[in-house]
Amino acid sequence: MSLFIKKPLEQLLTQAGDSDKGLKRTLGAGNLIALGIGAIIGAGLFVRTAAAAGEAAGPAVVVSFIVAAIGCAFAGLCYAEFASMIPIAGSAYAYAYVTMGEFTAWIIGWALVLEYALASATVSIAWSEYLNNLLGGAIPYQWTHSPFETSLDGVSGIINLPALFILVILTLILIKGTQESATLNAIIVFVKVSIVLIFIVIGWGFINSANYTPFTIPETLPGHEGWNEHGWGGVLGGAGIVFFAFIGFDAVSTAAQEAKNPKRDMPIGILGSLIICTILYVLFSYVLTGVANWEEFKTAGREASVAFAIQKYMPGYEWLATLITVAILAGFSSVILVMLMGQSRVFYSMSKDGLVPKVFSELHPKFRTPFKSNWLLLIFVGLFAGFVPGSIAGDLTSFGTLFAFVLVCVGIWVLRVKNPDAVRPFATPLVPLVPILGIIVCSAMIFSLGKETLISAAIWMVAGLVIYFSYSKNHSNLRKGN
């Protein structure tokens, strides 16, 4: 039987409609938009903005955000069509099963582990660092770092307890129920968006228009000789940097089987969250590069860029720097929450297909959430967060995300050719142009990742192939005729 055996679209739609035995449908359009914002706005807004301005774009980082958003929009439009057509947990994995077959679906499902699970671990480590900074370093070094890390004073880490703490708390909330998780996420989103808006409103009055001249980095400036480090080439280079601040909107599609009216609400959730975040990003970057000169972000800015700008150029508002740290913690929390939820839903869908053990699709008798999958994920992610340095994951999360984007864009094109008469509550416009542009943009970003990242990703994918041929292929429900 072919490796590329496809799941019939009708079978997937029947599975999606079985809400009595499956996941509980509790999410409305507002919940889905909040989930998207929760996944998108993390520390990326506060860190990547200054990095892109200082390294490549200068004040034109505002345009870089728009370019990156357009690139994400191509993939977002494709996700929206799939999510409205096939309202089932599993996201890109489920879409690939229908359009490109089981083998491709497995590959993308395995790649999504890089996006969701490893991202959860990496962000929880960063959450630990920011919490300790907020507490003035009250937690000893050895209890906030892995055994592979040593401080400048020679103190070796033992375990990252704060990272484990936030993972346990958020896992318990996810097990309790999707609506409860969405409610907490909505509260977190309100907090961090409010703080972002406060910075934009107050910071607007401290803008120095001279900081916008020149708008792009001059070609003659030392240290910016590369084509993507000055001028409009630098704007494109900046777009590659800030792209990572957009990662997460696709996680909305993993909740399709828990949406009350997925045909209407899924496109609203995916595209609505992307539009709202783009507007916030553009306004935020405009104010930040107006308050402080972009050249300062090459040294004094970096990760503390916003706090630096506030403390140096906004006298009397030092309290806002503390609020920014709170916003970053809130942002991290919601990102972890949505990523853990997304990973458990992908495994839920893969388990229902027989490609991973049944334990991943067993639902809690009361809460109807994949609680065993949540516990297993906590162990996997917790081991990484507690005992491995955050830098190890590197750009692997970005690889998994971009790879999923490419295959979703390919899938839309394939389904339009193979099944043109299927009901599409939301249709991606200008097919095949939009999918092709999405494939080109995302593929270019994949190849721009470092050599080490691509090698690590290749090793990860080989491990996935071993699992597929030794277990998944033999347990596939589709191959068994189930």
* Residue predicted with more confidence, 409 or 444: 409
Tokens of 301: 């800015």
Given a contact cutoff of 8 angstroms between Cβ atoms, the answer to whether 242 and 68 are in contact is: yes
DSSP assignment of 121-149 = HHHHHHHHHHHHHHTTS-S-GGGBS-TT-
Confidence of residue 390 (pLDDT cuts 50, 70, 90): low
Given a contact cutoff of 8 angstroms between Cβ atoms, the answer to whether 359 and 376 are in contact is: yes
Given a contact cutoff of 8 angstroms between Cβ atoms, the answer to whether 407 and 100 are in contact is: yes
| Residue 426: C-alpha distances to residues 214, 241, 364 (Å) | 42, 31, 33
Based on DSSP, count helices (H) and strands (E) in the chain, helices before strands.
18, 0
> What is the structure's pLDDT at 389?
74
Q: Which residues pair with 150 in a beta bridge?
A: 156
Residue-range domains of the chain with CATH: 23-476 (1.20.1740.10)
Confidence of residue 16 (pLDDT cuts 50, 70, 90): low
> Which of 426, 478, 361, 476 minimizes the C-alpha distance to 18?
361
- The percent of the chain in helix, strand and coil, each rounded to the nearest 5, is 75, 0, 25
- Cα angle 355-15-367, degrees, rounded to a multiple of 5: 85
**Could you tell me how far CA 162 lies from the centroid of its own chain?**
21
Structure-token match 């309290």, residue found: 319
Tell me the mean pLDDT in the region 224-232. 77
* Residue predicted with more confidence, 249 or 476: 476
Of all helices (H) and strands (E), which one includes residue 372? helix 371-387
- pLDDT surpassing 90 at residue 436: yes
d(CA 281, CA 269): 18
Tell me the mean pLDDT in the region 173-195. 80
- Determine if residue 213 is left, alpha or beta; phi over 0 gives left, psi from -120 to 50 gives alpha, anything else beta: beta
- pLDDT surpassing 90 at residue 287: yes
Average confidence score pLDDT of the chain: 83
* Long-range contacts of the stretch 108-111 (C-beta < 8 A, 24+): 108/403, 108/404, 108/407, 109/346, 109/350, 109/355, 110/460, 110/461, 110/464, 110/467, 110/468, 111/399, 111/400, 111/403, 111/404, 111/460, 111/461, 111/464
Q: Which residues pair with 156 in a beta bridge?
A: 150
Task: Return the number of other C-beta atoms located less than 10 Å from residue 454's C-beta.
Answer: 15
For the four alpha carbons of 25, 73, 417 and 268, in that order, the dihedral sign comes to positive
pTM equals 0.77
* DSSP 8-state class, residue 430: S
147 φ/ψ angles, rounded to the nearest 5 degrees: -65, -15
> What is the structure's pLDDT at 255?
72
Tell me the mean pLDDT in the region 457-481. 89
Tell me the mean pLDDT in the region 397-425. 85
Task: Return the number of other C-beta atoms located less than 10 Å from residue 79's C-beta.
Answer: 33
* Residue predicted with more confidence, 202 or 29: 202
Tokens of 459: 């090793």
* Residue predicted with more confidence, 32 or 2: 32
> What is the structure's pLDDT at 379?
93
Given a contact cutoff of 8 angstroms between Cβ atoms, the answer to whether 64 and 239 are in contact is: yes
- Cα angle 352-353-358, degrees, rounded to a multiple of 5: 45
Question: What is the distance in angstroms between the CA of the first residue and the CA of the last residue of the chain?
Answer: 15
> What is the structure's pLDDT at 17?
56
Tell me the mean pLDDT in the region 24-37. 80
Residues 96-143 have pLDDT tens digits of 888 888 988 898 888 888 778 888 888 888 788 878 878 888 999 889
- pLDDT surpassing 60 at residue 301: no
> What is the structure's pLDDT at 184?
78
Instruction: Give me Rg for the CA atoms of the chain.
Output: 22
238 φ/ψ angles, rounded to the nearest 5 degrees: -65, -35
